[in-house]
Structure 1
């Protein structure tokens, strides 16, 4: 016999209104409804969705995608917010917490182009679109001749700009394309050895106000411990290096049996220094604290090798 949870009122999920964000919120909504909860959605437009003529590093960082959602939580208009974890700042405001990290989708970056199968096939000096400093430095390391141009907007807008001929190719997160059924747009998925993903890429995180034990109980079955430990270590690397989108930083973890390995890379957007890489692994990562410690250890190796910590807010 299925036990139906008791609720005084429906739980409300705050979400951005882009097609991908709505898919993610509706995915969580369906899982919670299947568990017997009443769930409603609150669609919102964030400043990150509105400011499209400048890179995130120049207008306030990834927090622009979550601040309005957090305000809805604070004011009681919503109970939880579903985020692409790579868009969540490394430090949450006081009174908020990450209550659940779900099983990760493909964490890799995707090469998308209408006429070229791989990055190596692009002609000399071709224009590639991305507004990620991480992708910029990694692309420059692979192909110094390419011209990297800013690319903002939601996933559909970015694909439209590519199809209009503004770029020879663009680089996107494979997870978003797969979630929206656009996997056929992926010409090549970069393996981590080619292009190391960003911290949290491919994972969904659910944010709540601290102290909501009812929500923690509801979300517990959705959590995926291996993913949660992995992204905690990745985010610890980013936090230790300054934790903002102005940091050209990659951090990616993977499990081999009981051993978690974290690889990281830091680059100079001006191209004055080569990529700095670091790695560390541990078979003792069993909780969030030990995962965090592993990430801090990797960051220490980056710093020792010459990587600079960002002072940007």
Structure 2
């Protein structure tokens, strides 16, 4: 019996059931074990002010290390790039819908993008939006997709931003708009499965449901993120796409106010001997990114 740990939000449960179905299709017995996370308990503070890395993964990590569960299912973009000792990402499912999309309240349908008051607690989404529309007002918003939609209709703001994956997975009939300038968070749209490194049997089982091309792309994105951030939350976007052994990569670092941005676009043949994510991040750091990260760190502390 494989005990599958998951947060208990509707989206997290959907992700865990996807993993469960794949394991059951291979003949394995499973059971779902919902775990309430610190990130779900505190819906009033924006994530960057909680002072916790892995705010949505910490409780599942503890359950995993205490042998209360055998695997933990996550949205990979919520998983810190530095994992606790004896925990690894052992498999990822094929990525779907990595984009961010804009969802408006019904009374704001006719407003221009520059006029919208936006609800988001994401530093990345705020900064990338401000680059285009520097006079925008923001409100903090937290909670699962359903909670944020309710707050959108009731709140004093015009629109919010969602990961398209969440909308599609919940089969929600929403009007949304794609935003070309909004580069996704590293590993957005990817379901990841963590296990204990010393649990060799479970790790081997998980390899049977791992999607290799997605794994290659998110490793590049997460290495880019880890090299840039140095343990600090910052407005960073990264997306890699795999096509016939060619990788197409976009990376971005922005100041908190969106006034300064560093962009990188690369196309290359993949080989597993080179750490492309680290290489691209170092190029950004050497081109002004190091100074930008220092400023971001000091601004977040204050």
Asked whether 1:157 is paired with 2:159, we answer no
The more displaced of 48-57 and 98-107 is: 48-57
Alpha carbons of 1:117 and 1:264: their partners in 2 closer, same or farther (altered >3 Å)?
farther
Asked whether 1:267 is paired with 2:251, we answer no
| Count of aligned residue pairs for this structure pair | 294
Query: Residues 219-234 of structure 1: matches in 2 within 5 Å?
Result: 219-234=206-221
User: 1:280: how far off?
Assistant: 2.9
Query: Residues 132-143 of structure 1: matches in 2 within 5 Å?
Result: 132-143=122-133
**Secondary structure, aligned partner of 2:63:** helix
Alpha carbons of 1:187 and 1:245: their partners in 2 closer, same or farther (altered >3 Å)?
farther
Q: 2-side partners of 1:263 and 1:216: how far apart?
A: 31
Q: 1-side partners of 2:168 and 2:230: how far apart?
A: 27
Q: 1-side partners of 2:139 and 2:52: how far apart?
A: 18
User: 1:279: how far off?
Assistant: 2.7
Aligned counterpart, 2:137: 147
User: 1:72: how far off?
Assistant: 0.7
User: 1:117: how far off?
Assistant: 5.4
User: 1:60: how far off?
Assistant: 2.5
Aligned counterpart, 1:278: 264
Q: 2-side partners of 1:255 and 1:161: how far apart?
A: 37
Q: 1-side partners of 2:187 and 2:75: how far apart?
A: 8
Asked whether 1:71 is paired with 2:62, we answer yes
Unaligned runs of 5+ in 1: 1-9
Cα deviations by residue, 1:275-299 (Å, 9 ceiling, x for unpaired): 11123332033x3x53xx1111110
Asked whether 1:180 is paired with 2:162, we answer no
Aligned counterpart, 1:251: 238
User: 1:101: how far off?
Assistant: 1.0
Alpha carbons of 1:257 and 1:34: their partners in 2 closer, same or farther (altered >3 Å)?
closer
Unaligned runs of 5+ in 2: none
Alpha carbons of 1:284 and 1:195: their partners in 2 closer, same or farther (altered >3 Å)?
same
Alpha carbons of 1:295 and 1:117: their partners in 2 closer, same or farther (altered >3 Å)?
farther
Q: Is the 8 A contact 1:62 1:87 kept in 2?
A: no
User: 1:13: how far off?
Assistant: 0.7
Q: Is the 8 A contact 2:131 2:257 kept in 1?
A: no
Aligned counterpart, 1:301: 283
TM-score (norm. length: structure 2):
0.91
Q: 1-side partners of 2:72 and 2:166: how far apart?
A: 18
TM-score (norm. length: structure 1):
0.88
Q: Is the 8 A contact 2:91 2:209 kept in 1?
A: yes
Alpha carbons of 1:277 and 1:27: their partners in 2 closer, same or farther (altered >3 Å)?
same
Alpha carbons of 1:186 and 1:214: their partners in 2 closer, same or farther (altered >3 Å)?
farther
Q: 1-side partners of 2:74 and 2:284: how far apart?
A: 28
Alpha carbons of 1:123 and 1:95: their partners in 2 closer, same or farther (altered >3 Å)?
closer
**Secondary structure, aligned partner of 1:100:** strand
Query: Residues 42-191 of structure 1: matches in 2 within 5 Å?
Result: 42-115=33-106, 116=108, 121-122=112-113, 124=115, 126-182=116-172, 184-191=173-180
The more displaced of 43-52 and 276-285 is: 276-285
User: 1:245: how far off?
Assistant: 6.4
Alpha carbons of 1:79 and 1:243: their partners in 2 closer, same or farther (altered >3 Å)?
farther
Cα deviations by residue, 1:114-154 (Å, 9 ceiling, x for unpaired): 33559x72462x31011111111111112112212211111
